[in-house]
Amino acid sequence: MAEKLLQKKGVDHLEKILIDVNAEQREQMMSRTGRRTVPQIFIGDRHVGGYDDLVALDRAGELDGLLK
């Protein structure tokens, strides 16, 4: 659902890191975010959070500015 929202916003390039197949990357994600759930969304270097956080940013009118 996060991917569909971002595509709707015009994002045409997403980098997906599949943490279920690489334990090292899973540890890095947990270290960077403090979270265990997926997806964990970054826009540039900014950690947005998960899907619910992404939707909250969109509803607050802040997502479009981050995507520019």
| CATH for the stretch 2-67 | 3.40.30.10
pLDDT at 61: 97
pLDDT at 28: 95
- 49: helix, coil or strand? strand
- pTM of this prediction exceeds 0.75: yes
User: Do 56 and 7 meet the contact criterion of CB atoms below 8 Å apart?
Assistant: no
pLDDT at 27: 95
How do the domains of the chain map onto residue ranges? 2-67
pLDDT at 57: 98
47 - beta bridge partners? 42
Query: What digits encode the pLDDT tens for the residues 28-62?
Result: 999 999 999 999 999 999 999 999 999 999 999 99
